[in-house]
Amino acid sequence: MAETKPYLDPDQPIEARINDLVSRMTRAEKCSQLLSDSPAIDRLGVPAYHWWNECLHGVARAGRATVFPQAIGLAAAFDPDLMERVGEVIAEEARAKYNAAVKAGLRGQYRGLTFWTPNVNIFRDPRWGRGQETYGEDPFLSGELGAAFVRGLQQEVDGYLKAAGCAKHFAVHSGPEAERHVFDAVVSEKDLRETYLPAFKRLAEEGVEAFMGAYNRTNGEPCCGSALLLEEILRGEWGFEGHVVSDCGAIGDFHDHHKVTGSPEESAALAVKRGCDLNCGTVYESLELAIEKGLLEESDVDASLRRLLRTRFRLGQFDPPERDPFAGIGVDRVRAPEHVALAREAAEKSIVLLKNNGVLPFTRGPEPERIFVTGHNATSTDVLLGNYFGVSDRLVTVLEGLVGAAPEHYKIEYRMGNLVDRENVNPIDWGIPGKFDDFGAIIAVMGLVPMLEGEEGEAILSGERGDRTQIGLPAHQIERLRKLKGTGYPLVVILAGGSAVSIPEIHEIADAVLYMWYPGEQGGEALARIIFGDVSPSGKLPVTFPRSVDQLPPFDDYAMAGRTYRYMSEEPLYPFGYGLTYTSLTYSDLNAPTSVASGESLPVTIKLQNHGNRETEEVVQIYITDREGSARTPNASLCAVRRVSVAAGSSVEVDLEVPAAAMRLVLDDGSSVVEPGAFALTIGSCSPGPRGVELGAPEPLFHEFAVT
């Protein structure tokens, strides 16, 4: 009986297996495995593997899957527990699809287990079309949600990973989309460490399997070949031991656009020496030439190869199925009933109620009711999906959800009424109810669509490769809403989008405004359950909604001054963390120490009272302000969050903890210290400032304490 080779023996230590396999490869074979489309090595029994897979809000680009709300919508739930459960479901479906693909002999793109998700770039400017892929503008929230997603995705049993995640795009990357291949994001050490890096660091601490470098340069260095980002910070300071992948085509940008190298072999050598292990693209086809020219050592390739093989071994790709605890997951788990239910729950928790003068929720009374539904997004399935999406055989549009939720004696009439991007051509307009109609309310489903915002090349209605120079809605949509309001019927506006929109006119026109993001396959049912009061809205804004683009610094300026709730000096239209519900809440009975030693956390307890007759969930938020910092400090920074349920007419005690890290001050040179002095906490329903209370948020609580 032939002896089992060590690399094929699951009982051997993983490092011994990796070393044995590397020792058996030729130079050409080694280099080939550093390409994202890694070919098979038949003589060694190494299967082909394509590293590029997506699962931003469900397994993407691989056929049928449960489609969750777009990432920015998931962030609006402010719920790490929900995010972890979403990650778990995605991993389950990913394994089911992978197992089926392997059984069928399919190993191409979007068939694997290495997912280039999550995107934890800071959404610093609402003009960026890809901001919808992120978890918003706050480093703490982005880090906690990203870490929770990774925990769910990367479940580990007996040393095997269910799937592998990737923190992207490292780092300082958030538009303009049209210039992403050429621009240099110049940032101060303070902004780098205070805003752009914390979420990535949190994912490194969580054990994310991979990092993806960004297209652009940061402070002069291309991110996929940056000594500062990859060597000094990622592998040096943070001790990251996983692998690094380039964004697709980014290494070719070294010589084609950034002009830091003069040829593909020079670019390949620079990237590998800096620690970029995997090339999404074709530049690493020049690795052998780079070695022959003395630009690179074969040992450099070996180092990258070992990191890549470690991931593949942890995913069980060289082991018999009976040893892999996830190999038996079948396709019956794809869109399992509990997965679909979680997609609906996620959509319900993500939807944000921005205004309500009492028109919502609708009641299912005995009297017949007539509801007029209009708007380009009422029947759109595209608007459910966002970008980087999977597909489902049951996509519930807003109209379908409303019809399904309404009693049989209700009458729902629908007219599209308007186009998404331009005025109607036909002068005859049946999309405005007339004087002989008798409606109880109008529901107008409008806003943005993925064709207007997203990644370059996908947003086919955008003249700015997916970005938005103006952040309001098209003027014809606003004029349409004015006409609808002129009918005298109560007007409920439901807006879709992946970013902040400037809608002061709509806030004045509408009786109620709901922001649904791109809500996933169950979006229509979730909206209907909120509109009819089956569930109370509880989503919160993970991005600030400015009053206009005039409140924003230049798009291509990466300095944080004037950006996001942490550094903005003007009052926004809707503040970060804001979102109303169907009941009246009060915060009271704050209990917290008045001093804490440096390096210690601070416990906080509050009482949350529901004075209404509806159960609801509330996202309790704590913001910290350094009163005496020796360097510039943010206005306030989110440092603790908890989603809690409170029954009608009852109260709950909520315990939170301000982590010691929240009291650290980032100095101008990028170092951080905990300085003794005065700090303040704001505990409430949104970020500090008068605007939230003006809009109907509960009065917050305040607490002063000292660090000694």
How many angstroms separate the CA atoms of 99 and 326, rounded?
9
* Three-class secondary structure of residue 494 per DSSP: strand
Would you give the DSSP letter of residue 64?
B
How many angstroms separate the CA atoms of 411 and 399, rounded?
12
**One-letter amino acid of 381:** T
Say if CB 191 and CB 558 are below 8 A apart.
yes
Q: What angle do CA 492, 497, 502 make, to 5 degrees?
A: 75
* Three-class secondary structure of residue 575 per DSSP: coil
The DSSP string of 73-96 is HHHHT--HHHHHHHHHHHHHHHHH
Residue 447: beta bridge partners? 496
Residue 706: beta bridge partners? 595, 678
Residue 481, token pair as written in the block: 């809403």
Say if CB 68 and CB 117 are below 8 A apart.
no
How many angstroms separate the CA atoms of 618 and 683, rounded?
12
Would you give the DSSP letter of residue 171?
S
Is 81 one of the annotated active-site residues of the chain? no
Q: Which residues of 286-325 are buried (b: 16+ CB within 10 A; e: fewer)?
A: bbbbbbeeebbeeebbbebbbbbbbbbbbbbbbbeeeebb
Residue 164: beta bridge partners? 114
Say if CB 277 and CB 308 are below 8 A apart.
yes
The catalytically annotated residue of 191, 247, 277, 324 is 247
Contacting residues for 409 by C-beta, under 8 A, at least 6 apart: 368
Q: Distances from the Cα of 441 to the Cαs of 417, 424, 492, in angstroms?
A: 16, 23, 7
Residue 171, token pair as written in the block: 């780092």
**One-letter amino acid of 143:** G
How many angstroms separate the CA atoms of 71 and 233, rounded?
27
Picking from 395, 344, 398, the residue whose alpha carbon sits closest to that of residue 373 is 398
Helices (H), 532-589: 564-567
Would you state the torsion angle of the CA atoms of residues 453, 455, 460, 461, taken in this order, to the nearest 10 degrees?
A: 20
- Residues taking part in catalysis: 247
